[in-house]
Each structure stands twice: as C-alpha cells, then as structure tokens.
Chain A
Amino acid sequence: MRSGVPRYVLRRSIAALAVVWGSVTVAFVALHLIGGSPVDAVLGPTVSATPGLRQQIIRAYGFDQPLVVQYGVWLGKLLTGDLGYSYQLNEPVPRVLADQLGPTCQLALAAVGVAVVVALATALLAAGRGRVIGAVVSAVEMAAVSVPQFWFGLLALSVVSFRWRLLPIAGDQGVASLVLPAVTLAVPVAGTLAQVVRAGLEEALAQPFALTVRARGVRESVLRVRHALRHAALPALNLAGWTAGSLLSGAVLVETVFARPGVGRVLITAVTAQDTPVVMAVVMLSATTFTVINLLVDLLVPLLDPRLRDGRATREARA
C-alpha cells in the first residue's frame, strides 16, 4: 500500500495536467467566441485608432493568423513558460501577477484561518445543545452564508475604519489592514463550514460509539474534540475545493471594496477589458489550485478515515 501512494500521486498529477489543459483551452475558445476584435482590447475601452495603428497591432500580436495557429503558438509558448504580454498593461503576464499573488494568498489564508476557527468554535460549542441554541446558531449561520459581501465590507469599513478609526481602509499594509478584508471574505465560508461541521458533530454524537466513550467517563469536551470532530471533519474537508472557489470569487469583491492589490481585482479588470493573456493565466492558475487542493484532500481523507485506506488500495489493485 505504501508504494501505491507515489503511483497514485503521479496518476493524479497527469489527470490534473489534463484538467488544467482542458480548462485553459475552454477559456481560450470562450474568449474568442464572445466576439469583438482583440485589437480593441489592446487599444483599450473606447480608443479609436488609425488604420495604420490597427494594422501594426494586428501584425505585432499575430491576430491575422487563423485561430488554430494562434492557439498553437500560445500553447507552444506556454510549454516553454512564456505566458505572453498583457494587452492592457503592456507588461509580461508573470510580472503582472507576481505582485498580486502574494496579497491574494495572504488574504485567502487569513480568511480560511478565521473561517475555520469560527466554524469549529461555533460547531463545538453549539452542537447538540438543545433546540433554542440550535435555532439561533442556525439562523446566524444562514445570515453569514447569505449576506452580500459587498454590503458587509462597506458596512465593516464605515463602522470600524471610518467611525471608530480602529483599522486602516486596507491596501496591503501589514496585519492591521488584513483584518477587515479577511473577516469579510471569511463570513460566508465560516457560515457554510459551521453548518456542515455542526451537522456532522450532531450526527457523530448520536452514534453508539459516543455513548461508549461517555460510559468510559471521558469528559464531554474530549469526546467532542478527539472523537466526534474526526467524523465531522470529513465532509468539511471535502468542501475544500468549493472553499477555494468561493474565496477567489469573493476576493474579486473584497479586493475592490478594500482597494487591495490581488488576483481577483486583476481578473475583473482583465475580463472587462478582454485582456486575454491575463485571463488565461488566471484561469490556469485557479485550475491548478483546484486540482492541487483536491489532490491533497484525497490524500488526507484516508489518514482521517481508516475505512477509506483499504478502499483506495483496492482501487489501485484493480487498476
């Protein structure tokens, strides 16, 4: 079984490459299907240009080539690590993204941290505590899931930053400026995670093993943290891919409201301006993130749940 893990990782990595390739190809086709001239994208939103300038752009970017050729050229460059030039910013795409990745990762990790802590605390404290507490917590969770992030962000800013002047608006200026955006981004994730973990905990606590543990005289808190949480963590872990997705889409809003640099803000500008090379790079980046996260989850789950270890071994054997 041990030797199976590297092979499994290798196979999954190849599949992951296929997923990434597929998603960028779909993005490439989609960006060209929505029509419009890429020359306009290079020129900018409302600029009109002399025929000479247009011709020059067409030649410089190879827009006169058939789409298949453009795709081939793009893919070939991609394989050599060349992500191309941003139409709008006139800079190599890696340089556009380089400064933006750090702030987004910081924001996302901080938000995950906040969400996990809040969700676990809520779930551990509130699970199986009677109908009234359950209803209140459930209402709060629902509110967290449904509150529009744009609105929440503006409200947080106007109270905490403008009125109380406790924290700066944002930007990327140390820990203080990370608090409001991270909390804003964490709210819906925390709501969902809390719901899932709490439901899992309640289910686990109703199982016969919980009774056995209690009968051994183990304290309630130990039962919850050491035994029941392990059961409840599985469904939450499987949400990791979804979490990554909602963090990225949330980052688009949060980065705009709080004026933080980041991939989300770059993405929205790039999509609006049809800045194909940048959009493609962000798509590739997010596809890679998704597959890596899912791979990690698949590797982690058997560690948490012994029942699944054999399952995978059997799959391996059959293959």
Chain B
Amino acid sequence: MRIPSRHQLVALLLVATAGLTACSRSGSAAEDMGPSGPPRSGGTLTVAADKEPDCYDPQVSPADVTASLMRNVYDSLIAQRPDGTFAPWLATGWKVSGEGTVYTFRLRRGVTFTDGTPFDATAVKVNLDRIAAPATKSEYAAALIEPYRSTTVVDRHTVRIRLSRPFAPFLSALSTTYLGFHSPRSLHAAPGALCAGGPSAVGTGPFRFVSHTKGQQAEFVRNPRYAWAPQGAGHQGPAYLDTLVYRFLPVGFVRIGALLSGQAEVADGVPPQHTRTVRADRRMRLISQVPPGVGYTYFLNTRRAPFADRRIRLAAACALDRHTLLESVYFGQRRPADSVLSPATPGHHPSPGAERPDRARADRLLDAAGWHHRDQEGYRTWHGHRLSVDLPFVADFTPAEQRTLDEGVRADLGKVGIEVRLIRLAANDFLPRRNAGRYDMVAFRWPAADADVLRTLFGSGQTFTQGGYNASRTADRVLDAWLWSASTVGDRTRRDALYARIQRRIAAQGYALPTAVDRRVVGAHRRVRGLTFDAHAWPLFQGVWLAGAR
C-alpha cells in the first residue's frame, strides 16, 4: 500500500486546484447578490464534512463532530449566546437557589419528540440520570455536569436539579449538544443502539435522522412540527430545507472539488491552502467563526527537567515567532493567540506582546538558568547535557497544518538553543507515555464554551490518569484556588476577574504556549442563505434556505 507524502499531496493539490479555479471562474456570477425575497422552503442541502462521528450519541461520545452534527436532532434546555449569557430554549425560564446548588427550570409546553413522545419533566430527568449513570460510560457529558446529584419532577413542566456543590459552568454545560435530550422511548427501547445513529436517534430538534451509511453519508429530513428554536433565533418554525445530507469527504481537496463542482452546497473545514480558490469563485463565499475554548496549544511538562524550570519555559515562550509561523502555515488567515483562551470564550483576557519573539530575553533567561554553553550544533548545554525536549505526537491524529506548526516551533526554539525532538508514535505507544507524563511538550486543542475548561487543563487534580487533561502537569496551589472559586462563583463579573488573573498567571508561569486563534472556516455557495453559527461555532441549519432555482 502506498500513501503519498504530505508534500507530494500538497503539491498535487495546488496544481489541481489551479485548474479548478480557472474553470470555475467561467461560471455565472450573477446568481444572486441582491435581495432575493423572503426565505423559501424546500430543497436538499449537501454538506461536505471532513470528519465522520464514530458514535452518534452525544451523551456518550466526547467528539466535537458528534455534537456539531447532532445539533440538528437534539435540542437543549437553554442556548448560550456569544456574550456568555443564556437564552430560553426548551426551558422558558429558570432560577438558581440554595447558594448555586439548586436549579429550577420551567419547561416549554407543547414540545414533542419526533416519535410523538411529549417533552416533559420526566424526559429531562430520564436523560440527566442516564448521563450520570456509570453504566452509560459517558466520556464527556458526565464530566460536564460532574457535581450532578439528582433531578426532581416538580410537576409536568417543572424540574428541579440538585448539584453537590455550586457549579458556575452548569448552564453552559446544559447548552451543549452533549446534554441534549433523547426521546425517553428510544432510551427505554435500545440505549445501546443510539451510538449507531440513524432512525433510532430521536430528539426534539429541527431535523430527523433518517439514514446513515457508514463511510459515506448521514441524511436528515425536516421535522415539520418544529416550533421551538432558541429565543432570539432568526427563524422559529420548522427548517426550510426538506433534506440535509452530510457527505463524509476526509480529503480536503475532494471537499473543495465537491463544493466548486456543485456536488455540495457547503464545505466544512476548508483547509488554509484552499481558501483562496473558494474566495476567487464568485459563486462562493467563506463564512468563519472563532470557536471558544483552547486553540492549538503546546503544554510544557512542569514536572520534568528542563521545563520544570520556569525560566526555560519562559524562554521557550519568548522564542516563539507566532507572526511568521502563522503566516507560513495559515497564509495569514489566523491571528496569533494572545491568551490560552480563545477570544470567543467568555472570560478571555489578552496578555500583550505575545506576537513578536524576544530572543534577547530568551537568551538571558537561558543563560541565567545555567545553560550558557553551546555545542557544535548550536544547542545549549549544561555539564555536557544538551538542552533538548521531547514532543511526542500521533501522526494519524495530527492534521497537516499542525505538523507544520510543530516543525516551526522546533525551528524557533532551535534559534535560542533549545532542541525540540519530534517523536512520532503510534496511538498505543503514545497514550501510556502521555498518561505517565513521559514527555516535555504535548500539543492539542480543546474547544469548550466555558472558561472552566482551564480547570480541566491546569487543575492539579486533573491529571490524565484521573480523567482530566492537565498536560502541563501543574500542581499550582494558587491557580487551583482561583480555578476552584471561578467554578463556584455565580457572578459573571467576579468570575471574569478571576479568569483574568488565572490567564495572567498561566502566561507568567509559562505553563503553556498558545499558537493561533482557531477559526472554523466553512465554504458555501451563495445560494445558501441564513447559515449561522452558535456560541460553540457549530453551524446551525434550522434557519438555512436555498435561494433561486438551480
């Protein structure tokens, strides 16, 4: 079996797309830039999607793609707005009492699942209890509502949820698809079958999941009775589209080809090297949104030499030339990250001066740490040991842009005399090594709509073996205390102030090297109207309609 190298592939794609651009320019550009009347119902929209879910049950699967795709099927109690506040959805109102441990939700009346089962207080209880039950083996949803204790059915349209402690991220968690609602009937019939997707997945959402061919596509049809979009959504009633089809096209070039040749109306995950092709085509447009959470970030292992030394971590941070790096990897389409949190996260606090490198300061820091000798290759040494750090990665799970970023980081750190060794591993070798902390750096991204994600990433109790993602292996009592208060304080202003201190401390201690502000880039035909993103940067199709006849 022969698989071409990334370079060959990229070269080929560039050549091939040049041809595509040339031909697609000739297409009619006059289709519809002007006003085109009110939204019209009907039609099929095909989305060329880059990833295919392994499991379609968001209460079980932690995958972002599952949450994004199943947003079409499952509604939540509330919706998060981009500013971090919440809008009524399946719940018309709520109040918090008991010092933040008791949440009472009034449920919307007249909501039904697509199998006819009414959505009521019992449905909420059955779902939340199922997520928390160990037998469900939930890999993310249960962690999102970790202090969940119980749900009481107060009456048919009122539920009271009790937590074991005050938990500020609770509302944000409830707004995700991970805490969407299955029909109690489908949960009762065959909870194990929900992972497989298809008609067994029954929600209250704007679409029904009608069929699924693994390795090819997932097909959804309109739920004609839908009338309960989140408050403030542009369109409240049933979806305009008759049918929504996700075609799984893992190769970026094929996705773009499908879009430009009219075989798909929307292409998700437009690779940076293809954005120009899409933009050059006047029938197409690019829509993008910054997702909240933590973008692609290098976490420095603080419990292993040399990054146990704060000066060396800071030197690495000073050595990074984000501007140049991103210019070459993303062709200037990504801004340098100014904090470990993305600017789309409520509570984001920028720390200035992260864009340009400060090699002089890096040199001073490294000299002060005792690494002032250099060997023949220019790397710093100390008593004959070279200053080198290991960055293990799994090639199968590292997209091309990230591999290029890794190479760039290696080059930048090399300039101040730190050797980065990129160690390519198979997943089965990587995970035990990661879980045991045998690395100096690891890199990943972690989308999340609440700043509490920082507790999962930097809390001392959140090691990999404990089910957390504290990749820097920080055991910082000050940070722990702040993270804990920030997760319990209900008041937004006080939370934001705490998260500002937390982000400043993470930067000052050099626990992590953020790189770019992530961006979800979607290419769409101009006929596609009303495509928006929610606060998680998941595209929403309920309000989408197709203008003009083909």
Contacts and interface: CB of A to CB of B under 8 A. Distances in A.
Contact of B139 (A34, A49, A96): A49
Given A161-B257, A259-B250, A91 B196 contact: yes
7 nearest A-B pairs in the assembled complex, by CB-CB distance: A36-B428, A261-B215, A50-B467, A90-B195, A162-B257, A162-B261, A158-B16
Interface stretch (A122-130, A146-154, A208-216, A225-233): A146-154
B213 interface: yes
B1 A99 contact: no
A95 B254 CA distance: 28
A261 B3 contact: no
B508 interface: no
Given A36-B429, A45-B397, 12 more contacts: A35-B432, A36-B432, A50-B143, A56-B134, A151-B4, A154-B16, A162-B20, A169-B254, A171-B217, A256-B250, A259-B251, A274-B428
Interface string B252-286: 01100110111100000000000000000000000
A197 B253 CA distance: 37
A100 B426 CA distance: 26
22 contacts: A35-B429, A48-B464, A50-B466, A51-B465, A53-B137, A100-B215, A150-B2, A150-B9, A151-B12, A154-B253, A158-B19, A158-B20, A158-B257, A162-B260, A169-B257, A169-B258, A250-B1, A253-B3, A259-B216, A259-B251, A266-B215, A273-B54
A222 to B, nearest CB: 41
Interface of A: 34-37, 40-41, 43-53, 56-57, 88-91, 95-96, 99-100, 148-151, 154-155, 157-158, 161-163, 165, 168-169, 171-172, 249-250, 252-253, 255-262, 265-266, 272-274
A48 B430 CA distance: 12
B215 A169 contact: no
B3 A154 contact: no
Given A47-B62, A89-B196, A157-B254, A41 B55 contact: no
B428 A48 contact: no
B431 interface: yes
Interface string B130-153: 000010010110010000000000
Question: Most chain-A Cβ atoms within 10 A of its Cβ — which of B214, B260, B432?
Answer: B214
A96 B19 contact: no
Question: Most chain-B Cβ atoms within 10 A of its Cβ — which of A50, A53, A158, A171?
Answer: A158
A36 B427 contact: yes
Contacts of A273: 54, 427
Chain B interface size range: 35 or more
B199 to A, nearest CB: 15
Nearest to B194: A90
A140 to B, nearest CB: 20
A168 B195 CA distance: 29
B378 interface: no
A163 B263 contact: no
B216 A46 contact: no
A154 B258 contact: no
A40 B427 contact: yes
A157 B3 contact: no
B391 to A, nearest CB: 15
Question: Most chain-B Cβ atoms within 10 A of its Cβ — which of A47, A56, A249, A265?
Answer: A47
Interface string B52-85: 0011000011110000000000000000000000
A151 to B, nearest CB: 6
B75 to A, nearest CB: 24
B375 to A, nearest CB: 34
Contacts of B394: 45
A165 B261 contact: yes
Interface in B228-258: 247-251, 253-254, 257-258
A155 B16 contact: yes
B215 A53 contact: no
Interface string B23-65: 1000000000000000000000000000000110000111100
A45 B62 CA distance: 11
A46 B466 contact: no
A286 B370 CA distance: 59
Contacts of B23: 163
Contacts of B3: 150, 253
B423 to A, nearest CB: 16
A278 B174 CA distance: 35
B432 A261 contact: no
B4 A148 contact: yes
Contacts of A148: 2, 4
Contacts of B429: 35-36
Contact of B216 (A40, A53, A260): A260
Contact of B432 (A37, A43, A255): A37
B89 to A, nearest CB: 28
Contacts of A88: 54-55
Question: Most chain-A Cβ atoms within 10 A of its Cβ — which of B12, B20, B215?
Answer: B215
A167 to B, nearest CB: 10
A177 B16 CA distance: 21
Contacts of A44: 54, 61-63, 139
Contacts of A272: 396, 427
Question: Most chain-A Cβ atoms within 10 A of its Cβ — which of B9, B143, B261?
Answer: B261
